[in-house]
Amino acid sequence: MAYPTFTCAHEKDHNPPLDAEADQWFKRARYLEGELGHWPEVVALYEKAIAKDHWKAMHNLAQLYRVGEPGSEKNPGIAIDTSKMLDLYERMIKLKVPLGYYNWAVVAERGRGVLKSDRMASSYMFQAAQLGSPLAQVQLGRYFAFALPRDKQDDDMAERYYRCAGAQENPDAIEKTASFYDTAKENKPRSLFYYQRAASLGSFTGLSNLKGAFEAIPRPIHNFGYKPDQALHEFYSDLWKQLRANRSLRFPNLMKDHPLPAHPIQGFDAEHPDRRPEI
């Protein structure tokens, strides 16, 4: 299909505002969900938030209906209900939530509860990217970089989508941007820059790559070509352990307080060795 001109949009600029009271119910539901149970109360709290158009609650409850949750006699679980899942995704779309368009694209691609349609999936995926969904943007980046026949691949367009996604606050999208620069562009310092950005947002993958990059003998998967640095290896290993002990931990000053050293060959960026990458 033909794609309109590329524009870099950010999700936060398109997400509807959240009602303050509904957000408290949402946070309580997330806490109870993390406690591995209390499913009837979790559902009730999400539904109260949804009544006030809390789109994050719609997404989370839809995910529960997608996979289901086992229960017990005292604590009933949640049955898989594709119809309810789709109703919630449709409601997100009516609110023009970028994540709603992305969710619909995924179910259309996989044929979950709707007629499987590559055309529908592509249309909704592109709409999601246009509204700033970083998950949709990395999917389009992957499409232009890898899915097309080699003579039709567009590395420039792919990089635009990846960079737009990597500038947002979604660790998964940032990790995929890092992987793109590592494998497709072979730009090791820019790749590690994005892994560090993901790490600052609580990414295990980001921290694993950082501590692995500075090991005395880095494993092939973590070999970015940096000189071994025991102090940096121990520093990132400690952050990894801290995050394992507290999954909600974040490191907002990581990139400012601990800028990465220059790569021995590629400098701070393979394309601009003397210039540190900018988001």
Q: Is residue 160 part of a domain?
A: no
Q: Among residues 80, 103, 130, which one ends one of the domains?
A: 130
- Looking up residue 27, the CATH number of its domain turns out to be 1.25.40.10
pLDDT digits (tens, 9 = 90+) for 101-131: 999 999 998 876 666 778 888 999 999 999 9
Q: CA 250, CA 97: separation in Å to the nearest integer?
A: 26
70 HSE (CA, 13 A, CB side): 0
Q: Among residues 75, 105, 130, which one ends one of the domains?
A: 130
* Confidence grade of residue 136 (pLDDT, cut at 50, 70, 90): very high
**Residue 116 and residue 226 in one domain:** no
**Residue 114 and residue 180 in one domain:** no
Other beta carbons within 10 angstroms of residue 267's beta carbon come to 15
Residue type, 59: H
Residue type, 253: N
Q: Which of 254, 265, 242, 264 is nearest to 193 (CA)?
A: 254
**Residue 201 and residue 271 in one domain:** yes
Q: Is residue 81 part of a domain?
A: yes
**Residue 183 and residue 100 in one domain:** no
More confident residue, 35 or 20: 20
Q: How far is CA 239 from CA 61, 127, 188, in A?
A: 32, 37, 22
Contact 170, 135 (CB under 8 A): yes
**Residue 118 and residue 201 in one domain:** no
Q: Is residue 89 part of a domain?
A: yes
Mean pLDDT of all residues in 260-276: 96
Q: CA 137, CA 154: separation in Å to the nearest integer?
A: 14
**Residue 195 and residue 270 in one domain:** yes
- The full 3-state SS of the chain, as one line of letters, equals CCCCCCCCCCHHHCCCCCCHHHHHHHHHHHHHHHCCCCHHHHHHHHHHHHCCCCHHHHHHHHHHHHHCECCCCCCCCECCCHHHHHHHHHHHHHCCCHHHHHHHHHHHHHCCCCCCCHHHHHHHHHHHHHCCCHHHHHHHHHHHHHHCCHHHCCHHHHHHHHHHHHCCCCHHHHHHHHHHHHHCCCCHHHHHHHHHHHHHCCCHHHHHHHHHHCCCCCCHHHCCCCCCCHHHHHHHHHHHHHHHHCCCCCCCCHHHHCCCCCECCCECCCCCCCCCCCC
**Residue 98 and residue 206 in one domain:** no
**Predicted local confidence at residue 114, as pLDDT:** 66
Q: Among residues 76, 109, 130, which one ends one of the domains?
A: 130
pLDDT digits (tens, 9 = 90+) for 72-102: 877 789 999 999 999 999 999 999 999 999 9
Q: Is residue 153 part of a domain?
A: no
Total number of domains in the chain: 2
Domain that holds residue 267: 171-279
- Measured torsion, CA atoms of residues 42, 47, 52, 55, in degrees rounded to the nearest 10: 70
More confident residue, 64 or 150: 64
Q: Is residue 145 part of a domain?
A: no
Per the structure block, which two tokens stand in for 198?
């993901």
pLDDT digits (tens, 9 = 90+) for 138-189: 999 999 999 888 888 899 999 999 999 999 999 999 999 999 999 999 999 9
pLDDT digits (tens, 9 = 90+) for 47-60: 999 999 999 999 99
**Residue 125 and residue 182 in one domain:** no
Burial grade of 83 (CB within 10 A; 0-12, 13-18, 19 or more): exposed
**Residue 16 and residue 126 in one domain:** yes
Q: Is residue 154 part of a domain?
A: no
Percent of the chain at pLDDT > 90 equals 80
Percent of the chain at pLDDT > 70 equals 96
Q: Is residue 215 part of a domain?
A: yes
Q: Is residue 125 part of a domain?
A: yes
Residues 6+ apart with CB under 8 A from 78: 39, 43, 64, 65, 68, 69, 71
pLDDT digits (tens, 9 = 90+) for 181-211: 999 999 999 999 999 999 999 999 999 999 9
